[in-house]
């Protein structure tokens, strides 16, 4: 059957009803019951958000982001757990834990995005839904930021919207998990 023109798997159900015959429960739909726990993992130097190069990363701290996400997640019937480490191995271990716990992951791997095969491998092994986020638009910056080891293991990438990238990722991951649930 042909896909209706207005079918958008990422769209809110209350704005775009799911076409008949397409099973697409989302966090916004009455058929969505499972409470999802979303793991927000943050890599090196993201503990400095708020003071680190504010012209690039803004003045919002990671604690501000966490508080905001916690509130927004409630409206999605979800909870979040936010972690940050400057150490690659911590991120690898947390991704492995998410794999075992069955938790979806929102990942800002910071500079490890551009270097870490270990994080790439951990994401592949975890087999969890992953949304890659960046505050800055990495593609409008230095060329060494244009390559990501995370992207091939992610469902999608959100970058360039400052702290709001994290909230947009919440929307994306809830929809992703809902549509798979």
**Residues designated catalytic:** 57, 134
Distance set, CA 53 to CA 11, 45, 62, 83, 135 (Å) = 34, 11, 14, 21, 12
Alpha-carbon distances of 36 from 80, 89, 96, 158, rounded to whole Å:
8, 25, 18, 20
Tell the smallest beta-carbon distance from residue 89 to ligand DQA (Å): 17
Closer residue to ligand DQA (CB): 127 or 144: 144
Sequential DSSP letters for 8-32: -TTS-TTTSPPPTT-----TTSTT-
Q: Where are the beta strands (DSSP E) in 43-179?
A: 78-84, 105-108, 130-134, 156-159
**Closer of 26 and 84 to ligand DQA (Cβ):** 84
Residues at the interface with ligand DQA (CB under 6 A): 45, 108, 110-111, 113, 134-136, 138, 145
Q: State which residue, 62 or 126, has the beta carbon closest to ligand DQA.
A: 62
CB of 145 to ligand DQA, least distance (A): 4
Instruction: In angstroms, give the least distance from the CB of 174 to ligand DQA.
Output: 21
């Amino acid at each position: 059957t042909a896909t209706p023109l207005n079918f958008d798997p990422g769209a809110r159900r209350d704005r775009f009803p799911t076409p008949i015959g397409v099973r697409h429960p989302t966090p916004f739909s009455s058929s969505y019951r499972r409470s999802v726990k979303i793991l927000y993992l943050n890599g090196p130097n993201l503990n400095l958000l708020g003071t680190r190069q504010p012209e690039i990363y803004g003045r919002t701290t990671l604690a501000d982001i966490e508080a905001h996400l916690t509130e927004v997640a409630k409206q999605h019937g979800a909870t979040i757990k936010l972690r940050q480490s400057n150490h690659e191995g911590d991120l690898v271990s947390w991704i492995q834990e998410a794999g075992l716990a069955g938790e979806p992951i929102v990942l800002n791997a910071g500079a490890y995005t551009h270097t870490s095969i270990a994080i790439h491998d951990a994401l592949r092994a975890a087999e969890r839904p992953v949304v890659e986020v960046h505050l800055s638009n990495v593609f409008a910056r230095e060329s060494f930021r244009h390559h990501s080891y995370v992207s091939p293991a992610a469902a999608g990438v959100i970058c360039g919207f400052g702290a709001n990238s994290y909230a947009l990722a919440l929307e994306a991951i809830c929809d992703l998990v809902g549509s798979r649930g």
